[in-house]
Amino acid sequence: MIFKAPHEAVTFLPALGTVAIESEILASIVLLSIAILALQAWKLTERKRRNRELVKKVELLNKSRKYILDFLHDLGEAFTEGINLDELLYMIANFSVTTTQAAAGAVFLFDKEKQYLQAEVVIGPFPPALPIPETVKAQSPASETSLEQLVKSQRVRLREGIIGEVARSGKPVLIQDGLRDPRLVQHEIPELQTRTAIFIPLKFKDEVLGVMAVVNKEKAEAADYFNANDLFLLDSLADHAAISLYNATLYTLEAQQKQLDSDLRVASEIQKMLLPGHAPSVKNFQIEGYNLPARHVGGDYYDFLPLNDSRVGIVIADVSGKAIPSALVMTICRSAIRAQARLSESPTEVLQHVHESVIPDLREDMFVTILYGILDTNNRTFTFVRAGHDPVLWYHANTGVMDVIAPKGMAVGMDRIHRLDERLEECKLPLLPGDIITLYTDGITEALNGEDEEFGRDRLINTIKNVAHENADKILQSIFERLRQFTADIPPHDDRTLIVIKAG
């Protein structure tokens, strides 16, 4: 061992300190290098993870693109061949089930007028959207067909259940654990329990047309529930399905409208056949009549019924409402009047028979106003009863005075308990040469001009007075011409019927 002087030992200590510092620096560099390597490894791992996610997203987009292209291809071929709405709905439901590998699916359409959704197509064992009534539970759906009928029979209101809520909100819903989700209706039958589900609104712009739904997985690759990928695929499909559904609905409505127009034209021709082709030619009187329906078919009715050589039955009626229902009631009235007119000389008895014949087939919200009279050409009288119809206008040629004759009477269908003949007052008018009897429906007096002003009875009376010297045909034409001038060719909102009787 070598001992040195103290001043020599001082030179040795700094050397030891330098080595320690260098060791620390070296350790720090090693640690830093390890950290850098670890960071680079993490970045590489993260990059790989993101790449894998990107690959999955690309695969999902390609898968979605393929499904949508397949759907659009099949859709294009279907429209070329003339697809109907039912076929389109089945195609949408089938693609939904296939795309998501679902066990069952359904498409619900929204009835905008009635404000409820109803399943139009069902594929597989789709659980009923609403609780099953106890009476139906006792029967228990024995087959997929009976289950389908049950699902289609249910009407789901907006906000009612998950389907009603999706229709209201317009937002899709993914349910992965259906057995614990309180929004779902769970049924006692295991096969009808919803374990997982997707509900997608079918929207065109901001209008919800319906809801597309799939439930339960048929073939599970990695999980037994639907996931975000399934939701994405179905949502993408729903966008195109909604556009196709909207167009198909328009096509269907257009086809139905064309068929309806065709049917209405036929009905109009039939109704014209039921109205008089021409007025009867009788001694001492001129008779003319005309009907202008507001639509293809209407509820106004008039008729001339030759009873014998000197007596003619004349009737004018107005059924409440318009179009087909009122036209059908009008046909019943015509048959009843024609059957009874030749059996009775009393206008009151005739209308009592009409009342008894029409009431069984008349809806509670409908009624019929009828004026029936008998023109006696020998005695020059007009005897009539008025069941709630507009008054008779009687122009006196010798004085130029117009009388409004309104005997009491109630419309057919207004009182279904009491006899109608108890509410009718019979009236007989003695007619002098030049006198004019005018019968009309409220479509004449209530016709509106561009300022919502009614033609009114006063204008009708003044028009008759101005042409009272003319024959019956000219008087009738003058009234309709004056009406046309007043309304400026505005389409009639109600049927217009007019009868003119002029004594010779």
Residues 318 and 302: their CA atoms lie apart, in Å, by 9
For residue 226, how far is the Cα from the chain centroid? 35
CATH label, 80-251, candidates 3.40.190.10, 3.40.50.300, 3.30.450.40, 3.30.1360.10: 3.30.450.40
pLDDT at 257: 72
Residues 459 and 440: their CA atoms lie apart, in Å, by 13
Max avg pLDDT among 35-39, 87-91, 473-477: 473-477
Segment holding 143, helix H or strand E: none
What band does 56 get if pLDDT is binned at 50, 70 and 90?
low
What band does 385 get if pLDDT is binned at 50, 70 and 90?
very high
Segment holding 73, helix H or strand E: helix 13-81
Residues 107 and 109: their CA atoms lie apart, in Å, by 7
Superfamily of domain 275-503: PPM-type phosphatase domain (3.60.40.10)
Mean pLDDT of 175-195: 91
* High-pLDDT (> 70) share of the chain, %: 81
Residues 495 and 459: their CA atoms lie apart, in Å, by 18
Contacts of 402 (CB under 8 A, 6+ apart): 393, 394, 395, 396, 461, 464, 465
Report helix, strand or coil for 294: coil
What band does 180 get if pLDDT is binned at 50, 70 and 90?
very high
Tell me which amino acid residue 380 is: R
Residue 194 has pLDDT above 50, yes or no: yes
Give the mean pLDDT of the chain: 84
Which of 408, 415, 411, 419 has its CA nearest to residue 441? 411
Domain locations along the chain: 80-251, 275-503
Residues 436 and 503: their CA atoms lie apart, in Å, by 6
Contacts of 268 (CB under 8 A, 6+ apart): 293, 296, 297
Residues 195 and 127: their CA atoms lie apart, in Å, by 11
Own/partner pairs, 272-280, CB within 8 angstroms, 24+ separation: 274/301, 274/331, 274/334, 275/301, 275/302, 275/303, 276/302, 276/303, 276/304, 279/304, 280/304, 280/306, 280/312
Burial of 297 (0-12, 13-18, 19+ CB in 10 A): buried
What DSSP designation does 82 have?
A: T
